[in-house]
Amino acid sequence: MADEVILLDVDISLFGMRVRVALAEKGIEYEHKIEDLVNKSQLLLEMNPVHKKIPVLIHNKKPICESLIIVQYIDEMWKDKSPLLPSDPYQRAQARFWADFIDKMVYESGIKIWTTKGEEKETGKKEFIENLKLLEGVLGDKHYFGGEEFGYLDVALITFYSWFYAYEAIGEFSIEQHCPKLIEWAKRCMERESVSKSLADPHEIYDFVLILRKKYGIDQ
Amino acid sequence: APLSKQRPIQKTPNSIDQNSEKPRNTIMAEVKLFGCWYSPFSRRVEMALKLKGVEYEYIEEDLSNKSPLLLKYNPIHKKVPVLLHNSKPIAESSVIIEYIDETWEGPSILPKDPYERAMARFWVKFIDEKCSVAMWKAFAIPGEEGEKAKEEAAELLKFVEEEIKGKKFFGGDNIGLVDISANFIGYWFGILQEIAGLELLTKEKYPNLCKWIDGYINDNFVKDNLPAKDKMTQVLKPMAQPGYSGYKPKV
């Protein structure tokens, strides 16, 4: 029986992009279903009744939700090609710890930059840079976060790169100025087809963010 | 100075997988746990260690006066629990528990099947990040925000109720990752409800979940890993009072 793999997603979601990168790394063919989040499909509501969010991976009719959980599932299910999580348990724990850090701290501070104004926005910027600097320290002199091989933590963070342009334009700052090594790493990752084909266009993301800011009156 | 206590290894209780015939841990490794006796996150890591029969040194942290060692080993979050294995630190309870499951022989904490593993991880994340947060707010925050939290918690608990239906434990016949990680719902929240006079998690509204709670807190293995109710009440009661300025978990 051939595998049926469907991904419910939206183009600009950095969470959805993680799943796309993982699927591409493993060479898995899948049906990419783009959702309209204002008018969610019956399929999405059935497959993720708890959160009603994308991404959702549907593998042979069984849904998996939450991007990092999906990426781990993909890694465990298709374990013969391009392993994403390290083989050593301690290294695995470190990768999971930092991926959790990215979701809690990097994501939250990034949101502050484009959804708030004044002092809260400045705090968001400051925290965002601090958090990226910490990650730069974790990367060190390695080629990837995974070492020689592109891995789980690279997948977790690289999708933010597509959002950097929007953060920088709205926050009026340069990420490269603060974290040059991280930008070098990001450009290395972008040389991988799995990444370059999975990440959304930064200008498209910026346009979307501008529309939302106008809609919610954040830019006033 | 923090207390060092040697916790004894538990005998095999009836809720864990009796089919696991792997030998007891004889690895001469140094395992330390920085914890807090009333923290559900700390207690769940202890449960995981004891399930695997791991000998460890326990170091009690005063959360209002954190030790330099804790701050050294968890500089990012500065929280308990932190596991130290051969001098290498691991923080975040869900990360620690997976590490324990992968490192030591013994009953499986996570399922073996990738899909079941994904489901277990999903429920732990949902319970910790959405459910428990709303439930804590329902207890700790007064006024309109607290009322909203009660409504939210009531809705979210419905999903957990549905998930436990027809099962003895979330892990099936034996306790697993979700059971261990849902200790806040299983035990802590019951005490909070009593203190605050809340009627959120009741048998009428959540019969299956309450049945799980009964089985959970009376299970021989689990109950040895729960802090005493009177002591817990003493710690939790002041947190609901307005003007309380001591340590309070961040929501």
Q: What is the pLDDT of residue B250?
A: 55
Residue B36 CB neighbour total at 10 angstroms: 22
Q: Is the pLDDT assigned to residue B20 strictly greater than 60?
A: no
The domain A5-77 is placed in CATH, from the list 3.40.50.300, 3.20.20.150, 3.40.50.800, 3.40.30.10, at 3.40.30.10
Is B76 within 8 Å of chain A by CB?
yes
CA angle B62, B63, B65 (to 5 degrees): 70
Q: Which residues pair with A8 in a beta bridge?
A: A33, A56
Residue with token string 């009593």? B194
Per-residue pLDDT at B13: 44
**pLDDT of B26 above 50:** no
Per-residue pLDDT averaged across A67-95, rounded? 97
Q: What is the mean pLDDT of chain A?
A: 96
Alpha-carbon torsion (A199, A201, A207, A211), positive or negative? negative
| A→B interface, C-beta within 8 Å | 49-51, 59, 62, 64-66, 69-70, 72-73, 76-77, 89-90, 92-94, 96-97, 100-101, 134
- Determine whether the interchain pair B118/A70 forms a contact, defined as Cβ–Cβ distance below 8 Å: yes
Chain B residues touching A94 at Cβ < 8 A: 90
The β-bridge partners of B137 are none
Q: Is residue B2 predicted with pLDDT exceeding 50?
A: no
Look at the block and give the residue holding tokens 């392993």: A83
A69 CB neighbours in chain B (<8 A) are 118, 121-122, 125
Q: Do A73 and B115 touch (CB under 8 A)?
A: yes
A73–B92 CB contact, under 8 Å: no
B248 pLDDT higher than 90: no
Q: Do B95 and A96 touch (CB under 8 A)?
A: yes
In angstroms, the CA A86 to CA A68 distance is 15
Q: Is the pLDDT of residue B241 over 60?
A: yes
Average pLDDT for A22-42: 97
pLDDT at B194: 93
pLDDT at A118 over 70: yes
pLDDT of residue B245: 62
Percent over 70 (pLDDT), chain B: 84
Torsion of CA B107, B110, B114, B120, to 10 degrees: 150
Which residue has 């690895």 as its token pair? B27
Please, what is the angle between helix B132-140 and helix B189-196, to 10°? Answer: 20
Mean pLDDT of the region B79-98: 97
Mean predicted confidence (pLDDT) in A25-34: 98
d(CA B184, CA B138): 14
Between these two residues, A2 and A19, which has the higher pLDDT value?
A19
Q: Which fold has domain A89-215?
A: Glutathione S-transferase Yfyf (Class Pi); Chain A, domain 2 (1.20.1050)
Tell me which residue in A51, A70, A89 faces B102 most closely, judged by beta carbons.
A89
Residues in chain B with CB shorter than 8 Å from the CB of A134 are 76
Q: Which pLDDT does position A33 carry in this prediction? A: 98
Res A216: pLDDT: 86
**pLDDT for residue A120 is more than 60:** yes
H or E segment and range at residue A180? helix A180-190
Q: What per-residue confidence (pLDDT) applies to B140?
A: 87
Which residue among B95, B122, B126 places its CB closest to the CB of A100?
A: B95
pLDDT at B151: 97
| Mean pLDDT along residues A199-214 | 96
B1 compared with A65, residue with greater pLDDT: A65
Q: Going by C-beta distance under 8 Å and a sequence separation of 6 or more, which residues neighbour residue A112?
A: A120, A121, A123, A124, A125, A127, A128
Task: Say which residues have a Cβ less than 8 Å from residue A191's Cβ, sequence separation at least 6.
Answer: none
User: Rounded to the nearest 5 degrees, what angle is found at the Cα of B68, between the Cα atoms of B67 and B71?
Assistant: 90
CB contact under 8 A, B117 and A76: yes
Q: What is the per-residue pLDDT across A137-152, written as a single tens digit (0 to 9) for each?
A: 999 999 999 999 999 9
Whether residue B11 is predicted with pLDDT greater than 50 in this model: the reply is: no
Q: Shortest Cα distance from A50 to chain B (angstroms)?
A: 7
Report whether A95 contacts A152 (CB < 8 A).
Answer: yes
| Model confidence pLDDT, tens digit, residues A2-13 | 899 999 999 999
Q: Do domains A5-77 and A89-215 have the same CATH topology?
A: no
Segment A3-30 mean pLDDT: 97
Q: Looking at the DSSP assignment, which residues form a beta bridge with residue A56?
A: A8, A65
Report the pLDDT value the prediction gives residue A207, as an integer from 0 to 100. Answer: 97
Asked whether residue B22 carries a pLDDT value surpassing 80, the answer given is no
**Per-residue pLDDT, B6:** 40
Which residues of chain A have a CB within 8 Å of the CB of B85? Answer: 90
Does residue B24 surpass a pLDDT of 60? no
Question: Cβ(B30)–Cβ(B59) under 8 Å?
Answer: no
Query: Distance, in angstroms, between B96 CA and closest chain A CA?
Result: 7
* For chain A, percent of residues with pLDDT exceeding 90: 96
Residue B251 near chain A (CB below 8 Å): no
Q: Is the pLDDT of residue B249 over 90?
A: no
Give how far A92 is from chain B: nearest CA, Å. Answer: 8
Cβ neighbours of residue B108 under 8 Å, at least 6 residues apart? Answer: B17, B20, B101, B176
What integer is the mean pLDDT of B71-78?
96
Write the Ramachandran bin of A148: left for phi over 0, alpha for psi from -120 to 50, otherwise beta: alpha
- The pLDDT, as a whole number, for residue B15 is 52
Mean pLDDT, chain B, whole residue set: 88
B170/B179 Cα distance (integer angstroms): 6
Left, alpha or beta for B143 (phi > 0: left; psi -120 to 50: alpha)?
Answer: left
Return the H-helix or E-strand segment holding A177.
helix A175-178
- The pLDDT value given to residue A204: 97
Label the pairing between strands B57-60 and B31-35.
Answer: parallel
Residue A32 pLDDT grade (very low, low, confident, very high; cuts 50, 70, 90)? very high
Chain A residues within 8 A of B120 when measuring between CB atoms: none
Tell me the helix, strand and coil percentages in chain A, rounded to 5.
60, 10, 35
**Alpha-carbon span B209 to B121, nearest angstrom:** 19
Full-model pTM: 0.92
Domain ranges of chain A: 5-77, 89-215
Measuring CA to CA, which residue among A5, A19, A2 is closest to residue A58?
A: A5
How close A151 comes to chain B (CA, Å)? 17
User: What sign does the dihedral A10-A190-A115-A110 (CA atoms) show?
Assistant: positive
The secondary structure of A83-137, three-state, reads CCCCCCHHHHHHHHHHHHHHHHHHHHHHHHHHHCCHHHHHHHHHHHHHHHHHHHH
Rounded Cα–Cα distance for residues B4 and A102 (Å): 33
Q: Which of A66, A73, A93 sits opposite B99 (nearest CB)?
A: A93
B205-240 confidence digits (pLDDT tens): 999 999 999 999 999 999 999 999 999 999 988 887
Closest CA to A152 of A108, A215, A93: A93
Is-contact B2 B67, C-beta < 8 A?
yes
Asked if B85 has any chain A CB less than 8 Å from its own CB, the reply is: yes
How far is the alpha carbon of A51 from chain B, nearest alpha carbon, in Å? 9
Cβ count near B220 (within 10 Å): 13
